[in-house]
Chains A and B, each alone.
Chain A
Amino acid sequence: MPYTFRSNGCAPSILMFFLLGAAFVNVLEAQSSPTCSPKNFMVMGQSALAVFCAGDTTGLIVTGVSLYSLGDTSITPLSATITVSHFTTSNRWILLTLAGTEGILKPKQKYRLALNYNVASKQEVLDIDTSETVAIATPIIKSQANVYRATAHVGFSVDGRKLASARVNEHEPCEIQMQDDTKKPVSVTGQCSVLDSLPSESPTVAELSGVDPDRVGLYVIELDEDPRPSLIPRGFPPLQTVFGNPLKIDPKSRFSPQKAPATKDASQYYINFNYAAGVGTVPAWVLDGKIAPQSGIYHGFSFSPVAAANVGNNKLKGQTYTDTVNFGATAQKIFQPKHAVQELLFVPGATYETDKKFDRDNLMGTVDLRYNFAGLYKTQSVGTLQKFYSLVLAARKKKLEDPSAQVNEPLLDDIKTVLVGYALDFHTGLEAGGALLDTTISASSGKAKLVLPTYSIVRAVPQVHGLLEIWKFSIDATMTGRYLFTAENTVVETASHSLFLQQVQGWKGIGSVTGIYNWDPQGHFGITIAYKDGFAPPTYQRVNAVQVGLVLKY
């Protein structure tokens, strides 16, 4: 139900009203009326404004609204009758419709809006600029780097002054006229928002309140190709503003290709090849790579490739490293059963398994089920965020109970990291397939060779993974068992570099424990020590290695 105020700046009418009936008031917030702390605005027409409030406006009580015209050196009260209404589409926005001799907004003007509440004479102020400037926002969807948003604080129109709103996720072919840095005209094709217009240039409150203000002053453009180089838009015809004027493009706006990711973590493809040479030594090289192309989610399954190497180079007496290289792809889907198993991660996949010499050719289908039981995932990060948000909610509750009180929400940086964190999960898996070909294995030294015949693979793979964090220390342990139902062939090299064929069956397990000490509180610099012991496929040679390293993360 709308409520009306007369704004003359000197003596605004004071009316108390409730914007929504009690039936619609949120139970949690019914004890106290919220206020609107205005954060944003949208010009919905010459006589209509949408104001975005920080928080739910259900049950909002406004006792007066005043509108002023802002000059360079003056503030002039306007004689306008302002009606406050709710949107049916959103409870974060309120709708102000203007009437009266000065109830018409003009383009390229600055106004000030003052909202009064019955809470300790509280007043909130919002400055409004009706400049018809459109800005192009940098794409924020990492996987959709060609989706740009043209936004303005003044609503768009495609038909006179009729307010238009962008449909959600509906597009139509479009052509955008642009220019490059040399001012050469360029025409770029893409998919642009489908816009819906209100039936008239003077819409009713009911018509305006049915519009989604988050979709007004918005035009989503998905370019067919990356813009190379940066392109400056020349306009978006036939778009204009609700004042009936052409859009003014923000001179800083660009359609720019996405920058390369700054870190390996942020990259889909990452290759860092280093080569070193010195007098009296053989050249050395190091390849640090990552292949993780983005993949869509289909029926809840997320697809991703696997390219994992876990190998060591050189030999120290008493030290043997794991020698497993995997290529393949997995799909994963998360289920959330409503009982003790809080999360169930189902990961089917296909893997090509080999070793660092690539003289194994195992092809397998794999299935892994990860069980996360309730209460067993509370890392330091999760614990700290839980503590932080509890304090945020407490602050909000206090503010709701006493809107006039000075309550500041805490910042995450104010929260001390919790002392202890932990995580424990369990896996059961199955690997089935076979060694595809007879392969010839060569000894690491000498001329000994041996044919490794094909064999079948059926393995049950249970696994337990645990993480314990105490202060700056963390210990991450994984215990993986493999029960080989069928005998798998492997070639063993003796100390004298002779080769013999061995069959492996039954239980083969491998465990790894990694300890990390984070030197600084932010975890930029750390010392790691890792210990592995057991038998890893496909060679099943004894692994027994301790590695110490430094970690530098910025």
Chain B
Amino acid sequence: MAKTKGKAGITDKHYLDLAQAWSAQTTLTAYGKLIKNSETLPSAAGISHPHGLNEPLQGSVVYGVAIGGRCIPLPSPEQVMLPAPDGPADGCGWDPAEYVVWKNLPRNWITTHFQVRTRTLSGVLLAGEPARFASAVIGVRDRVLSVVRTWAKMASDPNDNDELQTLWAFSKPGGSFHDGAQLLAGKLNDEFGTHFQTSDFDPPSTIKTVDQLVNAIP
């Protein structure tokens, strides 16, 4: 039985020492799984070890965290680089046979976060770069041609004076050009961050040809 301190019912278990109090504010505990064959040295990953050690980090999938004793399952698992785990999971209801635990991870530690998203190749490769680079490496016309080519399932780039409605019809579509206009608007918005709408291409519209489409990119 815990030793009673002061007022009735207050025991040692109700107390933290200063280090524990600091730790509760600045660290977290993570629960997850390890990714096989994903070990790398912090220097190779361009980051530092959270505890200043020269030990490898490992690709890990985190399913939940505990902060200040509160268990928080993540809405979707997150893939990050973490140090070696402290052992099988020992809290928050995670099955120790399947999950491991990382304790006292500094909350402000910079790690590598892997995200899986579906994006166009150019959108990925050029994202985050200065816009000058983004617009210069692949010109806007070639990017539009690429989008139209994918949209209309063409084997080669369309001509600049080709009409969008003709290209859609030639792609042996499953639905009307209204559907095609919505798909095209979505693809262009993904590629350029624009705000095209279905009606911008659905007749009666002034954007009819590939060249007009190039000249509509703001």
Contacts and interface: CB of A to CB of B under 8 A. Distances in A.
Nearest to B204: A266
A211 interface: yes
Contacts, number: 166
Interface of A is mostly: mixed
Contacts of A144: 195, 200, 218
Contacts of A222: 218
B170 A147 contact: no
Given A55-B159, A143-B199, A297 B218 contact: no
B71 interface: no
A212 interface: yes
A386 B170 contact: yes
A141 interface: yes
Chain A, interface size category, equals 35 or more
Interface string B92-128: 0000000000000000000000000000000000000
16 contacts: A54-B161, A89-B138, A92-B142, A141-B218, A143-B195, A143-B200, A144-B195, A168-B192, A169-B194, A171-B218, A194-B131, A343-B173, A378-B172, A385-B165, A389-B167, A392-B162
Q: Which 8 A-B pairs have the closest CB atoms?
A: A342-B174, A343-B174, A89-B139, A385-B169, A372-B174, A212-B139, A90-B139, A167-B131
A101 interface: no
A140 B198 contact: no
Contacts of A137: 215
A484 interface: no
B214 interface: yes
Contacts of B165: 385
Contact of A141 (B204, B207, B214): B207
A254 to B, nearest CB: 17
Most A CB contacts (10 A, CB to CB) among B155, B170, B185, B194 go to B170
A156 B98 CA distance: 63
Nearest to A27: B156
B136 interface: yes
A140 B217 contact: no
A187 interface: no
B212 interface: yes
Given A212-B135, A345-B175, A294 B155 contact: no
Contact of A88 (B137, B194, B196): B137
Contacts of B189: 297
Nearest to A292: B199
A332 B183 CA distance: 11
Interface in A365-404: 370, 372-379, 381-382, 385-386, 388-390, 392, 396
A386 B169 contact: yes
Interface stretch (A213-221, A434-442, A443-451): A213-221
A262 B194 CA distance: 26
A281 interface: no
B204 A265 contact: yes
Nearest to A91: B142
A26 interface: yes
Nearest to B194: A169
B133 to A, nearest CB: 9
A215 B174 contact: no
A217 B177 CA distance: 33
Interface of A: 26, 28, 54-56, 87-93, 137, 140-144, 147, 149, 165, 167-171, 193-194, 196, 210-215, 220, 222, 262-263, 265-266, 294-297, 300, 302, 332, 334, 336, 341-343, 345, 370, 372-379, 381-382, 385-386, 388-390, 392, 396, 412, 425
B206 A140 contact: yes
B140 A215 contact: yes
A214 to B, nearest CB: 5
B19 to A, nearest CB: 46
A524 B162 CA distance: 26
Nearest to B183: A334
B86 interface: no
A171 B176 CA distance: 35
Given A54-B159, A386-B170, A142 B200 contact: yes
Nearest to A341: B174
B36 interface: no
B17 to A, nearest CB: 49
Contacts of B135: 89, 165, 167-168, 196, 212, 215
Contact of B217 (A168, A196, A343): A168
A129 B206 CA distance: 27
A373 B216 CA distance: 33
A332 B170 CA distance: 24
A496 to B, nearest CB: 48
A31 to B, nearest CB: 13
B196 A297 contact: yes
B90 interface: no
A294 B199 contact: yes
A33 to B, nearest CB: 16
A342 B173 contact: yes
B23 interface: no
A169 B215 contact: no
B49 interface: no
Given A140-B216, A343-B179, 6 more contacts: A140-B212, A142-B199, A196-B135, A334-B179, A342-B174, A396-B159
